[in-house]
Structure 1
């Protein structure tokens, strides 16, 4: 048997690391370390395009359009900024659109138009797209348009919803797929803020917004003084929110004012034909997600022709910081796959 000396082994290791797979492995490790650390922030430059504005991080490399979820800080959310910086360190240019709906917590299927404009005007012939939480819904809707789909190489969704009615049933009753979980109340009150403006009764709009903001500030805050003043439209919304019986969810949704019920239908990906969805979709979801249950991400991945699910045991809903070797391995596989697309695009 031929023996290899230490210099030969070292040369083999070096050659392996500078090969494309080895280089991607090193970039994967660096990106995951940056996500979990506190690297120095990268200052973006503001760019404008017809119908929108965005922050652009990095000077070179393929472009990844990064969409913030439903958070008041929007594109300036510290977690999103950290994510953008980590991606720049892995060789991407990162474009973060200023999505007015997500920042104002007024979620709508019309947000897909903002996403589509951002993709159309992003630099390069091909781009990647990553969406956090709710932002996956307008991202998927935008990608159903032919010209947007033609420009998208790959998509990433972190903690995405799929079946709108099922998600509403979860954050109101704590039940998903016959299992009892403890939902994070944030999703419930974002739903209220998002839909209050769709009521024709201006008094109920104001009262529901006040209820939602009070409960978002303090989940145990008393709201009886506001709830007792609601008219029929507001009462219908609160009946859904106060319900604890999963068997009543469908009827209570159907009893909502038309503006809200119709928008729920437009945001329901499970009601869409996704059989022609072109890009590969990398879905990253944690089993312990209490805003959007992991089964939603699994269902979305299964509904797409090129969906891949990366299921972690422990993952904060919109934060890609993980602990433990098992979760690190799963997230590392997703990151490595994304970097394979980076190299194809570059």
Structure 2
């Protein structure tokens, strides 16, 4: 009788440890660079800068080696940041995950550093998955993937690539998007058509200019690229800054992109997208999860989103969850997130704590731990 109870007791102990560990992670995320219980109880991971190549493409990455590697590999994909893999917030997150046993790989993604996101980033994430699951091992291993904000689309599409899909155990998507057209509509006009009647918060004013910067590289005219970058950066610094001179010198393609970004009529969005240069329109479609065959995704999906996100409405994560087979994706709605920034108020952290418990459980369930 006593022996028959042992598995249940051990399972209960593992669950309690997981819940406690998730609480320590939440406290460390809230603390930032300040002291925390997790920092006092654990050693930081060792960071190693690496270089690797695949099919003629060269990459750099940081790998955070935990003192006790017990949760397997996790590829952490950064969002828009000029500091790339060395963004202090990203470094802090990688160190937190390393302290609880993940071996964290943070690839440098040039397009997310210079705001020129494209399907190039999808290929780079596929290559990172390939490296993490095949380098230095006789047999392929598995890895988890985590991404934030505008990096969620490329990361999710990469995880569906037929070459690496079986190697991805689960994907964590924080504040990500699902439908590119509806995202552009919300950012530019404030209308969220996926909200099922619920009112989304007003969009963050900087978002439209971030979108403009992210697509400049698709314009063939160098003068248009320069003028639009000047407009975007000037308006980021001052929403009322004069730009009439630059607008008047734009060519047809530059005007089409600027008109989409500055449009405030929700009904015009599709027509304005149709007027974009063909290469740009193709890229937007290729980076749109709602236009992908989602049945190619073999990984479990963990969605974490703040209900008051002013950059990407929570409706995108809700729709992505509903687009997958029941049980494949779980959504954790948490007041602890204002887009991707973590609240320091512990009273906001219930949803995020539950998400962390789930992520730790998946790392054990999928054999990430050892």
State the SS of the aligned residue for 1:197: helix
Which one of the candidate residues 9, 16, 20 is aligned to 1:22? 16
Q: What's 2:368 paired with? A: 345
Question: Residues 324 and 220 (structure 1 numbering): CA distance in 2 closer, same or farther, change over 3 Å?
Answer: farther
- SS of equivalent residue, structure 1 residue 275: helix
1:45 aligned to which of 33, 45, 48: 48
Aligned residues of 1:287 and 1:314 also touching (Cα < 8 A) = no
Coordinate RMSD, CA, aligned: 2.0
Q: Does 1:151 align with 2:158?
A: no
| Cα displacement (A) at 1:233 | 1.4
Shift in Å, 1:136: 1.1
CA 1:322 to 1:126, structure 2 compared with 1: closer, same or farther past 3 Å?
farther
For residues 119-138 of structure 1, the C-alpha deviation after alignment (integer angstroms, 9 at most, x for no partner) is: 11115711111001111111
Contact 2:208 2:262 in 1 (8 A): no
Looking at structure 1, the residues matched to 123 and 271 of structure 2 have their Cα atoms a distance apart, in angstroms, of: 31
Task: Answer with 313-322 or 262-271: which moved more.
Answer: 313-322
Distance 1:76 1:49, change over 3 A: same
Match of 2:185 among 169, 181, 191: 169
Displacement after TM superposition at 1:111 (Å): 0.8
SS in 2 for 1:121: helix
**3-state DSSP class of the match of 2:349?**
helix
Deviations 1:51-97 (A, max 9, x none): 32211112323111100011212111221111111111222111111
**What is the rounded CA distance, in whole Å, between the counterparts of 1:324 and 1:220 in structure 2?**
38
Match of 2:87 in 1: 77
Please give the per-residue CA displacement for 1:175-209, whole angstroms capped at 9, x wherever unaligned: 11264641112321121112112112221111011
CA distance in 2, matches of 1:345, 1:212: 43
56, 62, 65: which is aligned to 1:58? 65
Which stretch of structure 1 is more off in the superposition, 120-129 or 35-44? 35-44
Q: Could you list the runs of 4 or more consecutive aligned residues of structure 1 that deviate by over 4 angstroms after TM superposition?
A: 15-18, 39-43
Is the 8 Å Cα contact of residues 336 and 352 (structure 2) preserved in structure 1?
no
Aligned pairs for 1:1-346 (under 5 A) are 19-37=13-31, 38=33, 39=35, 44-50=47-53, 51-59=58-66, 60-61=69-70, 62-122=72-132, 125-177=141-193, 179=199, 181-305=201-325, 306-321=328-343, 323-325=345-347, 327-343=348-364, 344-346=367-369
Deviation at 1:43, TM superposition (A): 5.5
TM-score by length of 2: 0.84
Aligned residue pairs: how many?
331
Structure 1 CA distance for aligned equivalents of residues 281 and 162 of structure 2: 28
- Worse-superposed segment, 88-97 or 56-65: 56-65
CA distance in 2, matches of 1:132, 1:53: 19
Structure 1 residue runs of 5 or longer lacking an equivalent are: 1-14
Aligned counterparts of 2:266 and 2:74: Cα–Cα separation in 1: 39
Larger deviation: 79-88 or 155-164?
79-88
Q: Give secondary structure in 2 for the equivalent of 1:36.
A: helix
**Contact 2:73/2:103 (<8 A) preserved:** yes
Distance across 2 between alignment mates of 1:45 and 1:18: 36
CA distance in 1, matches of 2:141, 2:350: 32
Instruction: Tell me, in whole angstroms, the C-alpha distance in 2 between the residues paired with 1:308 and 1:155.
Output: 11
> Would the alpha carbon gap of residues 314 and 332 (structure 1) be closer, same or farther in structure 2, given more than 3 Å must change?
closer
Instruction: Return the TM-score normalized by structure 1.
Output: 0.90
- Are the aligned partners of 2:321 and 2:329 in contact in 1 as well (CA < 8 Å)? yes
